[in-house]
Amino acid sequence: MNALDIDLIRKSAREHARANRSAPASRSTAHSLERMTNLQVARRTVIFTVGAAGIASLVDRARADIPGLTKNEVLQAAARHNPDIFWAIARSDRFDISDPKGDGFLAVLPLTHEGMRRLLDGRLNTKDPELCYVARQSERPAGIYVWAIHAKGTLAAAIPLVLQKISSPLYQGVNLYSRPITKGGLRVLEPLGFQPGASYEELFAPHLQMFDRSKDLPRVKAMLPEPVTVEVVRSMDEMARVIAIRGAVYMGEQHCPFEEEFDGNDFSATHLICHKDGEPVGCMRIRYFADFAKLERLAVRNESRNAGLAGQIVDTAIELCRKKGYRVLYAHAQARLLGFWQQRGFKRAPGRKFVFSDFDYVEVKLETEKHPQCITINDDPYVLIRPEGRWDRPGILEKSTSRGICEAADVVQ
């Protein structure tokens, strides 16, 4: 997002104005942004985050101008998921720091890879998006969808400041997408550099607009950190990394005996591994039973804790299990870490505490909705043979069909 600095926006505005010199003169956002300096914009407006009540007040006020604006609860839930999603805008001459109230707002959806694919092919419900497709605050998104803007009159000049406010190297080079439904929205977005038609990988959506910022990537590549990734373990090398992480955390820090940590279940499970800046930092194990999946062996290296990585690992595990058709997830939580699991929607199951490997544990359970694209026996056979967790993209075995059918050699018994 921070590639949209004020100088770049003024440049886009000038280019837009030159391209449309033959059009009748107007007092557009392009002209006002072109004239303003950073200081002038800052003097006129204030931008800040608001709580649930503030979101509801601003959105209710915007409904008269934005037909079909999504429900307050949806925006509030998204802002809890990622605070960078919703920003209030106020005129500085009317702003009271003791009682902050906004005059407008800008909301965005930083989307994951799967979220972007769904945005472009029309499967993403932008009125009530599933939060599993929305990146968290510490996660680099695959694309950023401009969800809603309500910034009438001079408030439009604050949009560059909002985009700067939520900027960091994490967002640089990430393309912006929009679907303006009002003429006002078009007047705001076009001068900023949005063009009709949007693309992501091989997908194209003519009904969306896009601001292509991929050209900014070489300029910021040296300062851009590697994104945090959570993936299914697919090789012995990755499994060795999982063993090293668990050895450091459980055996090194918690003094768990080897035979108790590596308990004979590792070859009947799915493993997840988390990398940050290319370094393996966390892992989790998932085992599957008839009507529930069990999450276990969650570990994050000491030097990488307090960065939200454990939450990202659990979120990935939940999404994987839901896609496999599971609606009940179960875990054994150390009693001191119960709050962490409750933050992810798990509830403590009624029952006694129990102890193993020198720590006391409680049972926690998450009952979730059926995933709309969960795998079933009726799915295409090629989908069912794709790599675990990558059911949305063609696998190596589908490519083998290009070789045709070979006749089996005769075998003498």
The pTM assigned to this predicted structure is 0.51
Asked whether the beta carbons of 370 and 323 are under 8 A apart, the reply is no
> Which pLDDT score, from 0 to 100, does residue 19 have?
45
Per-residue pLDDT tens over the stretch 331-368: 999 999 999 999 889 999 887 788 888 889 999 999 99
- Is the same domain home to 215 and 239? no
Does residue 405 fall inside a structural domain?
A: no
- Is the same domain home to 245 and 361? yes
- Is the same domain home to 164 and 48? yes
- Is the same domain home to 286 and 147? no
CA 159 to chain centre: 22
From 174, 198, 220, the end of a domain falls on 220
- Is the same domain home to 184 and 262? no
From 336, 351, 367, the end of a domain falls on 367
Does residue 126 fall inside a structural domain?
A: yes
Does residue 406 fall inside a structural domain?
A: no
Residues 6 or more apart in contact with residue 200 via CB below 8 angstroms: 116, 117, 119, 120, 142, 143, 175
Whether 165 shows a pLDDT value over 70: the answer reads no
Distance between CA 273 and CA 275 in Å, rounded?
7
DSSP E strands in 166-249: the ranges are 176-178, 195-200, 203-211, 229-232
- Is the same domain home to 175 and 29? yes
Choice among 139-143, 208-212, 394-398 with the minimum mean pLDDT: 394-398
Number of neighbouring beta carbons within 10 Å of residue 126: 15
- Is the same domain home to 88 and 14? yes
Core vs surface per residue 25-40: b (16+ CB within 10 A) or e: eeebbbbbbbebeeee
> Which pLDDT score, from 0 to 100, does residue 21 have?
47
Distance between CA 204 and CA 383 in Å, rounded?
23
- Give me the helices (H) in 82-198, please: 113-121, 159-165, 183-189
> Which pLDDT score, from 0 to 100, does residue 226 have?
56
Whether 286 shows a pLDDT value over 90: the answer reads yes
Whether 15 shows a pLDDT value over 60: the answer reads no
216: pLDDT confidence band, cut at 50, 70 and 90? low
Q: Number of folded domains in the chain? A: 2
Greater confidence, 292 or 176? Answer: 292
- Is the same domain home to 20 and 77? yes
Per-residue pLDDT tens over the stretch 63-109: 888 878 889 999 999 998 888 899 888 877 777 777 777 888 889 99
Whether 38 shows a pLDDT value over 50: the answer reads no
Asked whether the beta carbons of 127 and 68 are under 8 A apart, the reply is yes
> Which pLDDT score, from 0 to 100, does residue 395 have?
80
Whether 299 shows a pLDDT value over 60: the answer reads yes
- Is the same domain home to 167 and 238? no
Domain that residue 176 falls in: 6-220
The CATH number of the domain holding residue 215 is 3.40.630.30
